Amino acid sequence: MKLISTTDFVLDQRKKQDTDNIRRFWASERYACFLKRLLKLWMFVPCDEDGNVLEDCDCISDNGCCSKRNKYQQAKERGLFEGFEMYKGNPYNEYKARAVIKDYFDENWNIERIIHWELELTPTAQKQVGL
C-alpha cells in the first residue's frame, strides 16, 4: 500500500462492504494518527535507539557480526517506508544519510507532509494502521 491522504483513506474505507462502520471508523482514526507522527530517521533507514544509522554485515565469521546483523534486521523491520538505504562504500555513511534525508524534511514535519512522495508502506506501517 502506498502512503495516501486521510481523505483518500477514509473514502477507501467507505467502499469496503465487508466491514462495519465502527471498524472503518477506527481504521480511519488510526490512519489519521499515523499521518500526524513526526518524521524520524529510523522510519526510513535502520537506526539504533539513539538514532544512529546501523549498517548490515555478512556474518562470514562470528566476531560479533551476527549480533550486529540481528540488531540491524530488527531495526530494519521497525521502519515505516520502503526504498531507502545507506550510501555504500563511504566512510561518512551515517552523516550522508542524515544530510540527504534532512534535505527533504524538517524535523517538525509529520508523515502527512510527505504524502506526495507516494512512498510504499512497510508491513510494519500497514500493521500499525490496521491494514
What does the mean pLDDT of the chain come to? 78
Q: Which residue in 13, 18, 43, 40 sits closest to 29, CA to CA?
A: 13
Which pTM value belongs to this model?
Answer: 0.72
The answer to whether the beta carbons of residues 92 and 57 sit under 8 Å apart is no
Highest mean pLDDT among 3-7, 54-58, 90-94, 109-113: 109-113
Kind and range of the H or E run holding 34 = helix 21-35
Cα separation of the two ends of the chain: 9
The x, y and z cell numbers of residue 68, run together, are 550486529
